[in-house]
Amino acid sequence: MTLPHKVLSLHETMTTEAASDGRPANLFTLTNGSGMTATFMDIGATWLSCTVPVDGEAREVLLHCSSMADHQKQSAYFGATVGRYANRIANGQFTIDGVTTQVATNQAGNTLHGGPDGYDQRRWVLEHQSDTKLVFSLVSEDGDQGFPGTLKAKVTFELTADNTVAISYQADCDKPCPVNFTNHAYFNLAGEASGQDCLQHELMIKADRFVPTSEVGIPSGELKSVDQTGFDFCEGKMIGQDLLKDPEQVLAKGYDHAFILEPEVTDGIADFAKVVSPDQKVSMTVQTTKPAVQLYTGNFLAGTKGTSGEYGIHRGFCLETEYLPDAPNHPEWPGESILRPEQIYAHYTGYRFNF
């Protein structure tokens, strides 16, 4: 298929300037028979763009920057593969087998998304490319950001015939270490250039508990029922319906919380979430093998420069599948956040679009 003009333009503008390693980024666009496109970049193994055909036009449903200069200035992790440990680790410390490790901190004395030089900033190696699939790899040496063990990771992106952007992660490490990959895409199903925020999207999440946190996102230790709170999305509602209803939301200026998924929807096949655009023309369902998802409503996006201009607060939302924040310090919580040498880290998340 002929790529939409906005996708062709992105290939040009994003590669005009060099990335931090002195070389331009490499961009790759996958297509399918339905007219969808999904564009990825080797810097950060980033899901840069996703277009779906609506009323004869390609609707861009991901927030992103269109130049490397802007991409390197943003701190929102647009579309990046984040690791070694997505979300937060309190004080950058964890203890495994009686040994306490201090890793690099980068947000309020805590470690966020792997530290100040996380995998979102690295150039990943393209291992395989076809019209519908890409495989990127990364080797993270022992001691990288303070984390123990040499980690070898792969992320596979596939655009399927049923309009799913399928993301598979695989990793191994030669020392016990927390490992937690996710993709940090920001969605706006009304369109990146629509000027609308995400609050009028209808969202359903099959989760019965959420994780209360401090004002800097560190869990209190409690796993709280969503019942009778603004965190109850079990039946589906507008994202903005109960915005700031709860004290936990007030601390975070909106939703920026992990939801513990019902176990029956963590097989990578069942839909654990569904989102519908305000105009009802685009919907997205999400599947995963992870035990939790972080809903983030772009509470700190204001002033971030994107392709269509400066974004405002709540311009997009994230559904980041993951182990729970600070799970290395809470072994009693769902999921095995410590990867050991005899194990293989293997997880899947799919974002399936209907239009």
Q: Per residue in 191-212, pLDDT tens?
A: 999 999 999 999 999 999 999 9
- The residues, any chain, with a CB within 8 Å of residue 213's CB and separated by 6 or more, are 219, 220, 248, 251, 252, 256, 257, 325
Average pLDDT over residues 44-50: 98
Residue 340 lies in a domain: yes
| Whether 81 contacts 45, CB under 8 Å | yes
Is-catalytic flag, 184? yes
How many domains is the chain built from? 1
129-185 confidence digits (pLDDT tens): 999 999 999 999 999 999 999 999 999 999 999 999 999 999 999 999 999 999 999
152, β-bridge pairs: 139, 172
Residue 11 sits in a domain whose CATH number is 2.70.98.10
Is-catalytic flag, 257? no
Confidence of residue 247 (pLDDT cuts 50, 70, 90): very high
- The residues, any chain, with a CB within 8 Å of residue 5's CB and separated by 6 or more, are none
CA distance 106 to 302: 20
**Looking at residue 131, what is its pLDDT?**
93
Average pLDDT over residues 330-345: 97
The catalytic residue among 320, 322, 330, 347 is: 320
Verdict on whether the full-model pTM lies above 0.85: yes
Residue 162 lies in a domain: yes
Average pLDDT over residues 225-240: 98
- The residues, any chain, with a CB within 8 Å of residue 282's CB and separated by 6 or more, are 52, 54, 59, 61, 189, 190, 276, 353, 354, 355
Residue 143 lies in a domain: yes
The catalytic residue among 113, 184, 330, 347 is: 184
Residue 270 lies in a domain: no
Residue 166 lies in a domain: yes
Q: Tell the burial category of 293 from Cβ atoms under 10 Å away from its Cβ (0-12, 13-18, 19+).
A: buried
**Average confidence score pLDDT of the chain:** 98
Residue 241 lies in a domain: no
Residue 110 lies in a domain: yes
Confidence of residue 319 (pLDDT cuts 50, 70, 90): very high
Of the chain, the percentage scoring pLDDT greater than 90 comes to 100
Residue 343 lies in a domain: yes
Residue 37 lies in domain: 5-196+279-354
**Looking at residue 323, what is its pLDDT?**
98
Question: In terms of Cα–Cα distance, which of 55, 35, 34, 46 is closest to 10?
Answer: 46
